[in-house]
Amino acid sequence: MQRVSVKMFLKRVVLLIGVSVFIVGPAVDAQVPQNPSPMVDTTRPHPRIEPPVADGQREDLSVGTLFVSGNFSGDGIVPIIVNFHHAFWLGEHYVSQLIPDAALVMVPLGAGSQVYNDTFADPAAFSSMIDDVEIALGWVTGSETKVGKILLSSFSAGYGATRAILRHPEHYERVDGILLADGLHAAYVEGNAPPRPRDVSPEIVAEDLEVFVRFAAAAVAGQKQMWVTHSEVFPGTYASTTETAGYLLSRLGLMRRPVLREGPIGMQQLSEVEQGGFHLAGFAGNSAPDHLDHQYALGDWIRRVRRWLLR
């Protein structure tokens, strides 16, 4: 583990901002193209905050970087949020502002879900990360500190890491909650150009979503917590987040409740499902800015999980 200087951190911010986060692809084939979506949307504002640099300590881990807020006061047992594919500064800013007694692990690995899947395909990768976090928290607190609740939070392609981690039984049991912000995809059974007869959606590869179905069922039963958000972006060559959300609901026997309300940062919410510890919210929009809204709304997602995470 290695301390990260502010200068090094700022370089990472610049690099991350320069990397496209819109094209995600299914983890089963990272090179599958998607139908082009509008890169500009003028129907409503898409507010963005300027990248702040949060006060706190940073430690390089075996995978990712640990951030502990400057006003952190936790010790003994500390909940952690592991952010996959979210911007460094967004996670740090909102955790330090909204939930400073939680620790944050930031894991931005680049474009495409395959790199996230491959990084955590070996169960030792996540085990080492948690071990490193506990050692680093011990340095910060000056006493033995254990990881408490674990929330895996992913945006877009980051779902590849969440799925890979949950596929290992010991990690499935250890993870308490997951957040999928417009980022749950799957391949189609008939490839990336499936026939589309009227009123019939292409069949989704069940194995791509099976561990999420299991986690969602546990959340409905109150054993886990799961938050899912989705836009209306339609990649075409692999299942959209709308389609995968629909698949989850069909397997759970749940129905959407239509709503029409303003969401975070001006997003337009169209539907919701609340059952036990399972929470789903569907939003309008099929453009790149609509997709990125789900990342910039991270503050709202953290507000929703805060009470549960600290309980």
Q: Are 288 and 39 in contact (CB under 8 A)?
A: yes
The mean pLDDT of the chain is 88
Instruction: Kindly state the average pLDDT of the residues 157-165.
Output: 96
Q: How confident is the model at residue 25 (pLDDT cuts 50, 70, 90)?
A: low
CA neighbor of 181 nearest in space, from 308, 42, 280: 280
What SS3 state is found at 44? Answer: coil
pLDDT of 55 over the 50 cut: yes
* CA gap 162, 254 in Å, rounded: 23
| Residue extents of the structural domains in the chain | 2-22+54-191+201-310
Does the domain made of 2-22+54-191+201-310 have the CATH classification 3.40.50.2300? Answer: no
Instruction: Kindly state the average pLDDT of the residues 57-73.
Output: 92
Question: What's the pLDDT at 21?
Answer: 43
pLDDT of 207 over the 60 cut: yes
CA angle 29, 32, 33 (to 5 degrees): 160
pLDDT, tens digit, for every residue of 93-121?
999 999 999 999 999 888 888 999 999 99
Question: What's the pLDDT at 52?
Answer: 82
Instruction: Kindly state the average pLDDT of the residues 57-62.
Output: 92
Q: How confident is the model at residue 40 (pLDDT cuts 50, 70, 90)?
A: confident
Residue whose structure tokens are 């430690």: 59
Q: Name 229's bridge partners.
A: 181, 281
Instruction: Kindly state the average pLDDT of the residues 285-291.
Output: 94
